[in-house]
Structure 1
Amino acid sequence: MSHVTIIGTVTAKPEMREELQKLLSAQVAPTRLESGCINYDFHVDADDPNMFVFYENWRSQADLDAHMKMPHLLPLVSEVDRLLSRPVEIRHLRMLSGIA
C-alpha cells in the first residue's frame, strides 16, 4: 500500500483568523506523534493571511482515516461553521518523486 499525500486548505473568517490560527497550530505537535504520520506541515498563504494550508504525508489511508477521528481535532471540527469562511478543501495528491 502506498503512502497518502494531502493538502488541506482552511480559510478563516477575517475576524476569526487569530483564534483559528491558534486552534490549527495546536494540532501540529499531537498530529506529528500519531502513528503513520510522515510529515504534517502548517503554512499560511503568502498573499492571504486568512488562508491556512497543511501539507501532509501519511503512511497509509488507514493512518489518515485514524487521524481524522483523533480527539485533538474536536475543538476545530466543532467550531468550523463559526470560524471558517468556506468549507475545508482537501486535495489528494499522488507523489511521483517518492519520499526522500
Structure 2
Amino acid sequence: MSLCTLIGTVVAKDETREELREILAGQVAPTRAEPGCVNYDLHVDANDRNVFVFYENWRSRADLDAHLKAPHLQPLFGRLEELLARPVEMRFLDMISEPA
C-alpha cells in the first residue's frame, strides 16, 4: 500500500505566532483520530520560530482530502489572511518506501 503524504508549511506573522501555534497544536489530537490518519506531526523550524511544518501520512488521498475539509481546521482556514505571513504551502507526496 502506498501512503499519501502531505508536508504542509504555515508561516505566522510575528504578532500572531503564539496564537497560531495554539491553533495548530489544537488540531493534532482531532486529526489523529480521523479515519485514515497514519500519523500527523507538528514541528516548528529550529531557526525561524514563525515557521510551522506538518508531516502527515494518510491511508489514501481520499482520506487526506476529507481531512482538509474537517471542521476542526476552520479556526485556521477561516483566518488565513489575518494569521499568516504568506499562503499555506502544501506538498503532496506518494510514499514509495515501507513506513517505519
Give TM class, smaller chain: over 0.9
Q: Which amino acid aligns with 1:36?
A: G
Q: Kindly indicate whether residue 89 of structure 2 is the aligned counterpart of residue 80 of structure 1.
A: no
TM-score normalised over the length of structure 1: 0.96
Identity score, percent: 65
Tell me the C-alpha RMSD between the 2 structures.
1.0
After superposition, give the CA deviation of every residue in 1:24-46 in whole Å (9 maximum; x if it has no partner).
00000000000000000000001
Q: Which residue pairs with 1:15 in the alignment?
A: 15
CA drift of 1:98 comes to 1.6
TM-score normalised over the length of structure 2: 0.96
Q: How many residues align?
A: 100
Distance 2:34 2:94 in 1: 21
Describe how 1:1-100 pairs up with structure 2 within 5 A. Answer: 2-100=2-100
Name stretches of at least 5 consecutive residues in structure 1 with no aligned partner.
none
3-state DSSP class of the match of 1:5?
Answer: strand
Name stretches of at least 5 consecutive residues in structure 2 with no aligned partner.
none
Distance 1:14 1:37 in 2: 31
Distance 2:24 2:94 in 1: 25
3-state DSSP class of the match of 1:82?
Answer: helix
